[in-house]
Amino acid sequence: MATITALSSVDTFDFRPWEYRVQWASGPWMQQQALAIRRQVFCEEQGLFGADDVDDVDRSNPTTRLLVAMSCLCGQPDEVLGTVRIHEAAPGLWWGSRLAVRRAWRKHAQLGTGLIRLAVSSAHAQGCTEFLAHVQAQNVPLFKRLHWELLDEMVLHGRPHALMRADLEHYPPCHAPEAGYVLVHGALA
């Protein structure tokens, strides 16, 4: 009689999804996983905040949106791998913040760039005339490649940051951020 064994998480099976989706978080499970990634990156890994990084932007700004990058299984969202939040601080002035990707997925550069692209493009569709972010110093070269301008340098939370502005000419409005973008093997489909 043949013995059947189940695969466990410690087996050498290395699943890599064929497809990823970047969209506005549309359900509680997406929001919960996005906030968990932020806690992992900003609280545990970087030590920028105490036990949680949730702030007034999350709690009290009605324009705040969480965006998520997810792996897909059989075409359906499966697991949140990265996140960013956006909000309108004043009419036409939007901010991006809390860009975070799970450590094991950071080598998939298109997840982070897909989140940045959707953040700016969806804000652009909402009437954004200026999109700003405080970017950690090590990420400035990435943002420059994505057509962001360095405006100022400063220290925030004890770390060097740059105030940067997106060139909206390179971010056409995305009028369906709930559907977002599909990335195939990390490239925009």
Within a domain: 14 = no
Torsion of CA 150, 152, 154, 160, to 10 degrees: 10
In this predicted model, what pLDDT tens digit does every residue of 13-65 receive, in sequence order? 455 666 888 999 998 999 999 999 999 999 999 999 999 999 999 999 999 99
Q: Please give the tally of structural domains in the chain.
A: 1
Residue 2 belongs to some domain of the structure: no
Asked whether residue 13 is domain-assigned, the answer is no
Whether pLDDT at 9 is above 90 = no
Q: Is 7 inside any structural domain?
A: no
Q: Specify the pTM.
A: 0.87
Range of the domain at 176: 19-188
Is 145 inside any structural domain? yes
DSSP 44: I
Asked if the structure places residue 169 within a domain, the reply is: yes
Q: d(Cα 187, Cα 88) in Å, to the nearest integer? A: 28
Res. 94: pLDDT tops 60: yes
What CATH number did the domain enclosing 84 receive?
A: 3.40.630.30
Residue 8 lies in a domain: no
Assign 83 a pLDDT band (cuts: 50, 70, 90): very high
Q: How far is CA 94 from CA 16, 48, 154, in A?
A: 34, 23, 20
Cβ neighbors of 149 (< 8 A, separation 6 or more) are 164, 165, 167
Residues 181 and 114: beta-carbon distance below 8 Å:
yes
- Does any domain span residue 184? yes
